[in-house]
Amino acid sequence: MDFSGIDIGLKAISFFEKRKYNSFKTVNIALKEKTGIVDFFGKEEEFVQLQQTLNSNQNIVSENRIEYGDFQTNKQLAESVCNYLKNKNLKPQIIVEPTCGKGNFIISAIKSFPLQQVFGIEIQEKYLWRLKFELLDYFLTNPTANKPQIELYHCSVFDFDFDMVKKQIDNRELLVIGNPPWVTNATLSTLNSKNLPKKSNFKNVKGIDAITGKGNFDIGECISLKMLDLFSKENGCFAFLIKNSVIKNIVFDQKKNKYSISEIEKHTINAQKEFGAAVDASLFVCKFNSMPALTAKEFDFYTSKPRVTLGWVNNKFASDTEKYKKYQHLDGICPFEWRQGIKHDCAKVMELERIDSGFRNALGETFELEEDLVYGILKSSDLQQEIVDTSRKYTIVTQKRIGQDTQIVLEKLPKTNAYLQRHQDYFLNRKSSIYNGKPMFSIFGVGDYSFKPYKIAISGLYKQTKFTLVKPNETVLLLDDTCYFIGFDTLEEAQGIQNLLNQPETQEFMESFMFLDAKRAITKDLLMRISLVHY
């Protein structure tokens, strides 16, 4: 063990300097008595190394911050969370912190609750040492403080034997507390990391959904569900800092999972202030061993002000159940099919600007093309107005339907063909596997519907619910894959549907089941729920 960089603390340093221990076993006995920590040193070597490095006193820096989704909870926040739980009259006797890091939750819980036993698990050994020294400092400063038995394990949460913990609960009140890693399986796969549960497709997503990201999950979600699987039938409570998207998924999946949890609460925090992270996160709290609840009450963590209730209303999921009940008569199946726009994953070559002498691409190259395959294309940011009939960008529509042969068309268009051939590598290097085995220069999200002259469109990325009417200009205008649209043959039809969609009633209805903190606040599934027929 390399202790350099671990903040040992003055009291702990003087503890080791003052006393002369002849073996790590005798020092372990003294440390258990002082702190409750079982096996402070796992082996003699660690004790010897500590003595050699006792004078170093720098901060620990995690080398694998991204891979381990490492955002340590600050002391003040950990204390506020424990205070909140204490004020709810919780009196846990045993706590489990499955990814405890430097252990601020463990320390705050020891200070707040009449604990008898503590289990902390962490993959980064340096953090466990930091925690041990902090605990030593705490108990040396407060010798009469309540001293639970503390068991700290240097282990992956995915390999740890939680059954051993379960066997020791023995009807005592349990608190599972923590802040699991903030990282997704997609990021881990780009890092070639194995920091995943053994069954890594734990959402069982197959086919195109797996490719397009529906199979993307948060490691924090997977650890939360593991804790609920293991402990929701015990007496006690769960308190985890997690992303809002994870909370939404847990409540959504309650319909099928039916964990024995109730009094579900979501207390929104300012993750930028607390962790310097631009994510939406909250404290998720629930009671174990109770009738499965299907809704969660949202509060502001700092003011305790109640906000909305999210969750299930009969068979429908809402972000604001009260508002949803008011407009649920609009919920049904849209009579038109909402489509996603064109996907090419080749912006450098396929996003073009029109200039006097022809076109310019994102690489800054200028060139000429035949007009046959060139169409104006709109992105999410172009859908800010009620009516749009011009485009800043153009693209080459190499296919009129998915999978169509591209060579036959291109052979007749020498300039376009030469341009695409020159940039073949950009197409060949596209990461998404949807292009595998497809004709060269293939695109997705294209069909007859793409070429309808009038469209009602909305951005999937922006949080606004207003719909834009897209009219043709010199060509039919297309949309990119960040947008959704319905195509129409006549202006009247398109205007009529736009009018219905922009009614205050429809807008409020959408707000009642949109999750603004989702990466894509508006999805095809959501749009297909706007029935329109009730008007």
Ligand X SMILES: C[S@@+](CC[C@H](N)C(=O)[O-])C[C@H]1O[C@@H](n2cnc3c(N)ncnc32)[C@H](O)[C@@H]1O
Which residue do the tokens 């920590």 mark? 37
- Residue 223 or 458 with smaller CB distance to ligand X: 223
Question: Stretches 101-109, 135-143, 344-352, 425-433: which one binds ligand X (CB under 6 A)?
Answer: 101-109
Q: Which of 84, 105, 129, 444 binds ligand X (CB under 6 A)?
A: 105
Tokens of 338: 């909402």
**CB-wise, 188 or 286, nearer to ligand X?**
188
Using CB under 6 A as the criterion, what x/- string covers residues 110-149 for binding ligand X?
A: -----------xxxx--x----------------------
Q: Which residue has the tokens 């507390």?
A: 177
Asked if 480 touches ligand X (CB under 6 A), the answer is: no
DSSP category for residue 380: G
In this chain, which of 72, 184, 482, 512 binds ligand X, going by CB under 6 A? 72
Site for ligand X in 184-223 (CB under 6 A): 195
Q: At 221, list the tokens.
A: 């979600």
Residues 6+ apart with CB under 8 A from 467: 456, 457, 458, 498, 501, 502
In the complex with ligand X, which residue's Cβ is closer, 29 or 164? 164
Q: Which of 84, 113, 182, 359 binds ligand X (CB under 6 A)?
A: 182
What does the block give as tokens for 265? 């609460």
Q: Is 181 in the site for ligand X (CB under 6 A)?
A: yes
Minimal CB distance residue for ligand X:
101
Tokens of residue 309, six digits: 């209730």
Structure token pair of residue 533: 């027929």
Q: Where are the beta strands (DSSP E) in 304-400?
A: 306-313, 316-318, 339-340, 353-355, 358-360, 366-367, 374-378, 387-388, 393-396
Per-position DSSP letters for 431-499, written without gaps between them? --GGGTTSPTT--BS-SGGGG-SEEEEEESSSS----EEE--SSS--EEBTTEEEEEESSHHHHHHHHH
Query: Which of 139, 158, 427, 435 is close enough to bind ligand X by CB under 6 A?
Result: 158
Q: Which of 215, 198, 483 is nearest to 339 (CA)?
A: 483
- We find the least distance from the C-beta atom of residue 270 to ligand X, in angstroms, to be 16
Q: Can residue 99 be called a binding residue for ligand X (CB under 6 A)?
A: yes
For ligand X, the binding residue among 80, 93, 104, 319 (CB under 6 A) is 104
Of the residues 35, 80, 112, 179, which one makes contact with ligand X according to CB under 6 A: 179
User: How many chain residues interact with ligand X (CB under 6 A)?
Assistant: 25
State the minimum distance, in angstroms, from the CB of residue 298 to ligand X.
Answer: 21
Measured between alpha carbons, how far is 300 from 397 in angstroms, rounded to an integer? 48
Residues in contact with ligand X by the rule CB under 6 A: 68-73, 99-101, 104-105, 121-124, 127, 156-158, 178-182, 195
